[in-house]
Structure 1
């Protein structure tokens, strides 16, 4: 599965890359740290999954979410954030997100969901 990682922190990007080590079905095909770079990468790379931070160096992850859907992207858009999950989960889903993960507390859930999406783990 082709994954685009949209994250403004190099440290956090490296953490996610380490998290994905050993997942043979995950191929990180690119990175972006700004709204424009993310929108362009989605259009050019056509990833199966976009892992999207809401905080970016320039622009907004929420704008990326809206622009990707408006541009016809049909793959999975999963938001990664440390913002209030109760508020932002609903807001992100309203704007086309397929999932919302708290960066600090839901990394294992993210891995499980990637395994399910990649056919590596049964749904239950």
Structure 2
């Protein structure tokens, strides 16, 4: 979970920032994603979560423009998070959903897309493509960032 200080910093960012939530249980992958996108001044990682429960709690408490979801989490699965997001689908500010997983089986992609996932990537094969897609989506979302 974000520390109280981290939440304060994220709340004070300029309104043209794109708020990203990273739902990933691997610290190595979290750091790699954050490092890969660190040069983009309008992307802010506003929260991270390593479990489905942490993720849903964060999503209930604040708005994100984009979420990056791993399917295998420390406790629970990314599908639980995607189900929660699908249930809030009537909300006009539903975030763009990107799945980045080591379990990129066709059946998982079908399930994820049925739950409203916008992009689905295999971490080991398409990491750079996922980074580029996140950059592109953030650039597209930037004028529409909500605060």
Question: What TM-score bracket applies, with the shorter chain setting the length?
Answer: 0.7 to 0.9
- Which sections of structure 1, spanning at least 5 residues, go unmatched? none
Determine the C-alpha separation between the residues in 2 that align with 1:105 and 1:26: 24
Scaled by the length of structure 2, the TM-score of the pair is 0.74
TM (norm. structure 1) is 0.87
| Deviation at residue 119 of structure 1 after TM alignment | 2.7
Deviations, residues 44-98 of structure 1 (Å, cap 9, x unaligned): 2211001000011111111110012213461111111011343322221012211
Aligned equivalents of 1:115 and 1:18: distance in 2?
Answer: 13
What pairs up with 1:14-53 in 2 under 5 angstroms?
Answer: 14-53=31-70
1:105 matches 2:122: no
In structure 2, what is the Cα distance between the partners aligned to 1:22 and 1:85?
31
Q: Give distance in 1, aligned partners of 2:139 and 2:84.
A: 28
Match of 1:65 among 82, 102, 105: 82
Kindly report the root-mean-square deviation, in angstroms, between the aligned alpha carbons of the 2 structures. 1.6
Aligned residues: 120
Question: Could you say which structure has the greater relative contact order, defined with CA pairs below 8 angstroms and 6 or more residues apart?
Answer: 2
1:8 maps to 2:25: yes
SS of 1:104 mapped into structure 2: helix
CA separation of 1:11 and 1:91: change in aligned 2, threshold 3 A: same
Of structures 1 and 2, the larger Rg is shown by 2
Gap runs ≥5 in structure 2: 1-17, 141-147
- Secondary structure of 2:111's counterpart equals helix
Higher helix residue share: 2
For the Cα contact (< 8 Å) 1:20–1:26, is it kept in 2?
yes
CA distance in 1, matches of 2:136, 2:104: 26
